[in-house]
Structure 1
Amino acid sequence: MIRWSVGLEAEGDRDMSHDEILALADAVAGSGGIATGIGTPRYGAQLVVEASSREEAVSKARAEFESAVRSAELPKWPVTRVEVVNEEEEFEG
């Protein structure tokens, strides 16, 4: 298994409040995650997952992200950006 850092971002039709992003941050904290998006029409999270492939990492991170969005009671917006890097790639760059 490899550790992956997966960034996901969803975009919608209104700006996100401080409290909404704080709720998302609380929801992703257990996954070693951080949240972004205060004052923008998007919200996102950077999550750390263990997986054997890039595809598995994205799948696991998406599931965690969707669960966190539900927990934070955010609007269900489409994911518009996904960035993935594993710990080996991170050290090379």
Structure 2
Amino acid sequence: MATHAPLVTISIPAYNLGSYLEKTLNSVFKQTYQNFEILLVDDASTDHTAEVIAKFAEQDDRIKPHFFKEHEGVSKARNYAIDNARGGI
């Protein structure tokens, strides 16, 4: 009987995290558990966060970069990701 690892959703609210986001994402990809999706919610960043997200999304389809919203704070960004998650958070 084959068992499948459950899908895990990793929610990353991002507001002006361009300088840190690459290190964060590289850390996630180094984990041993690999059945995950990453929901990056860009909360209207004004730095290069969107470019970092786009770069990583081109390299790995587990990144769901299409979550961009008006700046409303980390709680609303996190809740937005939860509402769009396919796996367990």
Q: Which has the higher strand share?
A: 1
TM-score, with length taken from structure 1? 0.31
Using the size of structure 2 for normalisation, the TM-score is 0.32
